């Protein structure tokens, strides 16, 4: 393990350990030259003499250094510290898809597809660069708060033309639950192997379970080779027929019957959301040639036989007319029934109600609806109240709920126009930053998600406003400096939206800033929020028990409470408490706060950066 504060490669100072994987530790660090926060992946000490792990680590370094894509964790540098190789990576603030699934279970189809499509975009870029990942699984997918996905851990990746195997006996490279049949057989991998793993991952995201499980790695691997997965549509109603077809095609045992590329699979996933009842994703093998029919006999049919056949046909026709007329008469009197109204009822309720009236119910199609709840019937044919033959089928169109909003084009809009446009679309304005650009000053020059991207209701979109060198300046460097000195610099620069957080750290001395947001050198305006993380914990003599109740609209909402402080003519917020809350009504928040002055003080509650409550609390001396 590397101690906090250690300088690695003469450029990176270790801040803390953020994770441990199968073969490496991952540390958060700061680049001392650029002042950017990075992640450093260091091979574990026990593998320093293991040739296989050293090769795998070197392979990952070679793979990621040659990959540049927004959905792949970027690599900046490689090196060696104390005889152990390391890779310097982009620091991604998010959670693994595995953690999200463990906590929340299966997810809605639109969200699952939106995430997997980004994984496929990453795989497409890797495949185009000649790299096969070979270990696609939820543990290797990071989901950021913005909804952006990052694929990581190319530790067992190989070049497309490499003759490599991944399973032999009881040794498995890659996670066996997501292993392709050819990997399980020890055959060379292809791009289709990654697509199979992506299909397994999507199966789990929608159903809450992997298709194959067992008592041992070998048992699971054998199931990948021989067993047919239970169609996900049989496990959950979240899976439409079209989406079911896409998943099963990706999971075909025969790699030639899977998708030929990540982009093809991605296109079918997007199409499945728009055409949930479509059959476009089914793999249709080439038709077998049919044996030729024997040519008809050249002998003429005997005249008497012809006459007999003609008379028989006439008799059958007359008998048929008799039965048809009789059926029509009887049906008019007894075989017709009033059709029940199924609109606004669930599929299960519609099936039961149709059966009670002597009909059957069948889903004809799925459509988005802003007025009918997801899973309920929007329209039916025939309509309720008319008569139809008893035993016939009532066809229904079922609601998918509101359509996933698409990100509008915000480039060229003013901040107010951007906010209004996002709110009309069902989205929200996120962080606003500034930089010099060719777009007119004061208007949006960049947005965090590209136009036409399908996302979820309430998603925050960050924007960048075009500014000039006269209105913006570089964010000053604050780390490793006393907080009082930084506050003076911010006061001189007219900053007016400052937050100070205190936290214990072994990196620097008490009272010294060791993290800052925005990062040094970022183009900013004086009103941009600035957060300084300071080492230590103030030992103030007065305390107060604070309690709030807050309605939380979205899970993952970041909440913090603060009091206004003053220093040398500058006012700033000192953060008292912070947490992340799940969705709910009147969610309780309670903590004990400290103060350097006695008496009544206003405590301000922030939710996702916005003030939501202000309340006065009395601070008194601590009880001895």
> In this structure, what CATH number is given to the domain that contains residue 354?
3.30.10.20
Give the residue among 141, 136, 94, 95 at the shortest CA–CA distance from 114. Answer: 141
Q: Could you tell me if residue 268 is inside a domain?
A: yes
pLDDT score for 405: 80
**pLDDT for residue 215:** 87
548 is written with which tokens?
């709030």
Q: Is residue 281 part of a domain?
A: no
| CATH number reported for the structural domain that contains residue 515 in this entry | 2.60.40.2560
Q: Are residues 452 and 561 in the same domain?
A: no
pLDDT at 516: 86
Q: What residues does 314 pair with on adjacent strands?
A: none
Residues 116 and 256 in one domain: yes
Q: How confident is the model at residue 284 (pLDDT cuts 50, 70, 90)?
A: low
Q: Could you tell me if 475 and 498 are in contact, meaning their C-beta atoms sit under 8 angstroms apart?
A: no
CATH of the domain at 203: 1.10.510.10
Asked if residue 72 belongs to a domain, the reply is yes
Both 187 and 170 in one domain: the answer is yes
Residues paired with residue 150 on neighbouring β-strands, in sequence order: 142
Q: Which residues are catalytic?
A: 135
Q: 382: cis peptide before it, omega within 30°?
A: yes
* Domain-embedded: residue 208: yes
Dist CA 524 CA 528 (whole Å): 6
**Same domain? 342 vs 489:** no
Lowest mean pLDDT among 167-176, 390-399, 477-486, 517-526: 167-176
Average pLDDT of the residues of the chain? 83
* 613 shares a domain with 516: yes
- End-to-end Cα, the chain, rounded Å: 41
- Identify the pLDDT of residue 192: 94
Are residue 120 and residue 263 in the same domain, yes or no?
Answer: yes
Q: How far is residue 355's CA from residue 213's CA, in Å, rounded to a whole number?
A: 38
- Name every residue whose Cβ is closer than 8 Å to that of residue 400 and which is 6 or more positions away in sequence: 276, 366, 367, 368, 369, 374
Do residues 108 and 242 both lie within one domain? yes
Residues above pLDDT 70, as percent of the chain: 87
Are 376 and 427 part of one and the same domain? no
User: How far is residue 176's CA from residue 170's CA, in Å, rounded to a whole number?
Assistant: 11
Task: Give the Cα separation of 155 and 41 in Å (integer).
Answer: 11
Q: Of 52, 74, 90, which residue constitutes the final position of a domain?
A: 90
The values of phi and psi at residue 204, to 5°, are -70, -40
Chain-centroid distance of CA 536 in Å reads 36
Containing structural domain, residue 80: 7-90
What's the pLDDT score for residue 487?
94
117 and 251 inside one domain: yes
Rounded Cα–Cα distance for residues 521 and 284 (Å): 57
User: Last residue of some domain: 72, 90, 108?
Assistant: 90
Residue 410 lies in a domain: no
Q: What is the mean pLDDT of residues 164-181?
A: 60
Q: Which helix (H) or strand (E) holds 319?
A: helix 303-330
Looking at the fold, whether 131 and 246 belong to one and the same domain comes out as yes
Q: Angle between the 191-207 and 109-128 helix axes, to the nearest 10 degrees?
A: 170
- pLDDT at position 529 over 90: no
In a domain, 580, yes or no: yes
* The predicted structure's pLDDT at residue 624: 61
How confident is the model over 369-419, as pLDDT tens digits? Answer: 778 887 889 989 888 888 888 899 999 888 877 777 888 999 988 887 888
Q: In this structure, is residue 473 part of a structural domain?
A: no
Task: Look at residue 68 in the predicted model and tell me its pLDDT.
Answer: 80
Query: 326-344 pLDDT, tens per residue?
Result: 444 444 446 788 899 999 9
Q: Tell which of 90, 122, 156 closes a domain.
A: 90
Instruction: Please check whether residues 340 and 433 belong to one and the same domain.
Output: no
In a domain, 318, yes or no: no
Closest CA to 174 of 100, 149, 61, 165: 165
Number of independent structural domains in the chain: 5
Q: Is the pTM of this model over 0.85?
A: no
User: Greater confidence, 466 or 511?
Assistant: 511
Which residue, among 137, 215, 149, has the nearest Cα to 183 in the 3D structure?
137
Q: Is 482 exposed, middle or buried (0-12, 13-18, 19+ CB in 10 A)?
A: middle
Same domain, 419 and 495: no
* The two structure tokens encoding residue 233: 């549509």
Strand order in the sheet with 141-144: 94-96, 141-144, 149-151
498, containing H or E segment: strand 498-503
């Amino acid at each position: 393990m590397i101690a906090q504060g250690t300088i690695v490669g003469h450029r990176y100072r270790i801040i803390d350990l953020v994770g441990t994987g199968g073969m490496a530790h991952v540390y958060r660090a700061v680049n001392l030259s650029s002042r950017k926060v990075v992640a450093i992946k260091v091979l574990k000490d026990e593998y320093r003499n293991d040739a296989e792990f050293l090769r795998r680590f070197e392979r990952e370094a070679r793979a990621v250094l040659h990959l540049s894509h927004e959905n792949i964790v970027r690599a900046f540098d490689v090196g060696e510290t104390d005889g152990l190789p390391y890779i310097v990576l982009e620091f991604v603030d998010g959670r693994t898809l595995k953690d999200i699934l463990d906590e929340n279970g299966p997810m809605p189809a639109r969200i699952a597809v939106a995430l997997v499509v980004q994984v496929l975009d990453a795989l497409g870029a890797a495949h185009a660069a000649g790299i096969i990942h070979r270990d696609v699984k939820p543990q290797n997918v990071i989901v950021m708060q913005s909804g952006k996905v990052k694929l990581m851990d190319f530790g067992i990746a190989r070049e497309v033309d490499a003759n490599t195997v991944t399973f032999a006996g009881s040794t498995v490279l890659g996670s066996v639950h997501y292993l392709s049949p050819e990997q399980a057989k020890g055959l060379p991998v292809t791009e289709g192997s990654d697509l199979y793993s992506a299909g397994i991952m999507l199966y789990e995201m929608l159903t809450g379970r992997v298709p194959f499980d067992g008592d041992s790695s070998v048992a699971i691997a054998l199931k990948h080779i021989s067993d047919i997965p239970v169609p996900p549509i049989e496990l959950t109603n979240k899976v439409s027929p079209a989406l079911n077809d896409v998943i099963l095609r990706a999971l075909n045992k025969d790699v030639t019957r899977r998708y030929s590329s990540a982009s093809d699979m991605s296109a079918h996933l997007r199409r499945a959301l728009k055409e949930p009842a479509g059959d476009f994703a089914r793999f249709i093998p080439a038709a077998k040639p049919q044996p030729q029919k024997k040519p008809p006999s050249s002998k003429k049919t005997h005249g008497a036989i012809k006459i007999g056949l003609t008379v028989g046909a006439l008799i059958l026709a007359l008998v048929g007319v008799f039965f048809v007329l009789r059926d029509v008469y009887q049906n008019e009197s007894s075989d017709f029934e009033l059709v029940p109204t199924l609109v606004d009822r669930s599929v299960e309720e519609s099936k039961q109600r149709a059966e009670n009236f002597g009909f059957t119910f069948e889903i004809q199609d799925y459509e988005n609806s802003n007025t009918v709840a997801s899973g309920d019937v929007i329209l039916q044919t025939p309509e309720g109240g008319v008569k139809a033959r008893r035993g016939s089928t009532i066809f229904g169109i079922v609601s998918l709920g509101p359509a996933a909003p698409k990100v509008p084009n915000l480039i060229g809009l003013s901040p107010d126009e951007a906010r209004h446009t996002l709110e009309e679309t069902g989205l929200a304005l996120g962080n606003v930053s500034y930089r010099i650009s060719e777009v007119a000053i004061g208007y949006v020059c960049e947005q965090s998600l590209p136009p036409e991207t399908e996302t979820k209701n309430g998603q925050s979109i960050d924007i960048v406003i075009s500014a000039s060198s006269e209105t913006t300046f570089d964010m000053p460097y604050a780390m490793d400096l006393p907080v009082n000195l930084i506050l003076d610099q911010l006061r001189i620069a007219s900053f007016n939206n400052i937050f100070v957080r205190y936290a214990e750290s072994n990196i620097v001395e008490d009272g010294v800033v060791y993290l800052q947001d925005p990062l040094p050198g970022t183009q900013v305006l004086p009103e941009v929020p600035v957060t300084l993380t300071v080492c230590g914990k103030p030992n103030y003599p007065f305390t107060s028990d604070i309690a709030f109740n807050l309605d939380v609209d979205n899970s993952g909402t970041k909440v913090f409470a603060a009091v206004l402080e003053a220093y040398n003519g500058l006012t700033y917020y000192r953060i008292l408490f912070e947490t992340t809350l799940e969705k709910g009504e009147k969610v309780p928040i309670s903590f004990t706060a400290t103060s350097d002055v006695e008496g009544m003080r206003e405590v301000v509650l922030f939710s996702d950066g916005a003030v939501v409550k202000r309340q006065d609390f009395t601070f008194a001396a601590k009880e001895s």
